[in-house]
Amino acid sequence: MSKKSKFIKGGKIIAFPAKALFPMGKLLTRQLKKLKKRRKDVDESDPFKNTSRVTDNASPDADAEEQFGHARTTAIKKQLDIKIVQTRKALARIKIGKYGLCEECGSMINTDRLVVYPETTVCVKCESKKSKRNP
């Protein structure tokens, strides 16, 4: 793991100390493990994964319930997949010494934002620009 995330601005180096990055790496690693487990559990709860489900002559309400359950688990899995990718990306940024630096503009990400959303790789300003582009 890198000792510091560095940012050079106006000739001045701004960096996160290793003692701040190490616990964040551990936190993100635990978070990734939990996300993977949650994704597996959600995948197993998908009604379409149930091999004993009756596909023919099912009552309309049972079929609708299965359809809704499948749509729900699919949506949850998609969100978990996004979170898993973000967490892996943050862990990679710790490894290469760029954690805490915005991948869009290179500025330091506010530490309050990192505490609340440790897998973030963009600052608030760039995030809001991105959301304005993609409503």
**pLDDT tens across 17-61, in order?**
777 788 889 999 999 999 999 999 999 888 877 766 555 556 666
Q: Which of 41, 32, 2 is nearest to 19 (CA)?
A: 2
125 against 59, higher pLDDT? 125
pLDDT greater than 70 at residue 14:
no
pLDDT tens-digit readout, 81-110: 999 999 999 999 888 888 888 988 888 899
Distance CA(76)–CA(42), nearest Å, equals 7
Q: Which residue has the tokens 């106006």?
A: 10
Euclidean distance between CA atoms 129 and 110, whole angstroms: 16
**Domains of the chain with CATH codes:** 5-133 (1.20.120.910)
7 is written with which tokens?
């940012």
Can you give the pLDDT at residue 2?
Answer: 40
